[in-house]
Chain A
Amino acid sequence: AQSVTQPDIHITVSEGASLELRCNYSYGATPYLFWYVQSPGQGLQLLLKYFSGDTLVQGIKGFEAEFKRSQSSFNLRKPSVHWSDAAEYFCAVESYGQNFVFGPGTRLSVLP
């Protein structure tokens, strides 16, 4: 069965600092990979996705993610965090004919 792990439940960074959120997945083949962000009281918004091709993908709001097949990872990065980035971040996987499976989420807090 597919599974997604996000090892960090809660991360706190200072505004302007760099950010990396970790995501690992377990699946027989390479699934489609996604990062979503959820602001308080809101639905989930897609940040970026990986289907194939270049393993470094760019998303909205200055985020990027790198797919590493050898590590079954899809880590999310941002070079300089803004206070408005404080939210819950979810990594997800999906493959043809299967449902989306979400990781447990990482809560990001940003210090002024």
Chain B
Amino acid sequence: DTAVSQTPKYLVTQMGNDKSIKCEQNLGHDTMYWYKQDSKKFLKIMFSYNNKELIINETVPNRFSPKSPDKAHLNLHINSLELGDSAVYFCASSLVEGEAFFGQGTRLTVV
């Protein structure tokens, strides 16, 4: 059983397209996250969300939007993709006070 699963693992798309990455956790955690890892391996928080509050990193373009149909899912929608969006995107979840569990990542390549 995979604790945090995200799909797809690889995503190649053209500039200007709209795409989504799905994330599901079966750990019963309260909070879910999206991180972006750039080519230098730096991890940057994009969003954190529990069923009460969405916290958005103010540096994230509004082309990125999280959508949570329920507590176990936090999907990432990206509109009008740009070359600079190419990166690895990680979904994670945690309890309010606890370690984060990460998915395997989605490598997004915009061409």
Contact = CB atoms under 8 A, between A and B. Distances in A.
Interface residues of B, number: 22
Contact of A49 (B41, B96, B99, B105): B99
Contacts of A97: 96
Given A34-B99, A96-B96, A104 B42 contact: yes
Contact of A99 (B48, B97, B103): B48
B99 A43 contact: no
The B interface is mostly helix, strand or loop, or mixed, namely strand
A110 B33 CA distance: 32
Given A32-B97, A96-B97, A99-B55, A43 B90 contact: yes
B43 A90 contact: yes
A99 B105 contact: no
B90 A44 contact: yes
Given A42-B104, A44-B90, A99 B45 contact: yes
Nearest to A34: B99
Question: Which 8 pairs between the two chains have the least Cβ-Cβ distance?
Answer: A43-B102, A102-B43, A44-B102, A43-B104, A105-B41, A99-B45, A99-B48, A46-B99
30 contacts: A32-B97, A34-B99, A36-B102, A42-B104, A43-B4, A43-B90, A43-B102, A43-B103, A43-B104, A44-B90, A46-B99, A51-B97, A90-B43, A92-B100, A94-B94, A94-B100, A96-B96, A96-B97, A99-B33, A99-B45, A99-B48, A99-B55, A100-B92, A100-B100, A102-B35, A102-B42, A102-B43, A104-B40, A105-B41, A105-B43
